[in-house]
A and B are shown apart, each in its own frame.
Chain A
């Protein structure tokens, strides 16, 4: 795992609560707001499971800690996007495009950035910077978990042995 220079993190009291809101003007037209909300709720839950941080949706985009939207080109952070490369997907059974990109996997990754993680070199980590079209990576890897827990501490309800057992079983299956 990698941190941003200076190791920035949210510094309010623990347990930390962060609000998130969706842009009303900058959503993607072929997914419904309900589909997008459901995906992000699941993605936030992955991180909330391992650290003492909760994420609460708010309607007020302006004051939300985390603002979610779909943007193209220059979007204000000095790193303009190239433009449309594929199609967002929430269900590969419905979305048959060969360039479909799983929205939940990307959401999990981007939330990792919001929490302070940079790009990992561990291929199975959620924070690895590439994702093949029509593939999913929605579960946190040990690398992601250790990285984010060293920033925020551990959720008292989280048991890392469950995650390790799950990864061992996946590796055996591979």
Chain B
């Protein structure tokens, strides 16, 4: 999965958590209002470098949270 649409040259000043979550939701990676901790990352409340580094890494295409899959997960074009 390629998150490059928003991770190419991200600026710390114009990327915020709601924006990232909207993006992930739009492309089927995250349900709305999902505040779950994931990937063993610390919760910092901001788009910290650890989190952004993980978003950029190549990853397995299978969803992490299989219980929360929605129809959108299957129908949205990635």
Contact = CB atoms under 8 A, between A and B. Distances in A.
Interface in B48-76: 54, 57-64, 66-67, 73-74
B39 A131 contact: no
Contacts of B64: 118-119, 129
Chain B interface SS verdict (over half):
loop
Interface residues of A, number: 27
A131 B57 contact: yes
A121 B36 CA distance: 12
Contacts, number: 60
A5 B57 contact: no
Given A78-B74, A121-B38, A123-B40, A130 B58 contact: yes
Interface string A123-136: 10000111111000
Interface in B6-38: 37-38
Contacts of B74: 78-79
A141 B57 CA distance: 20
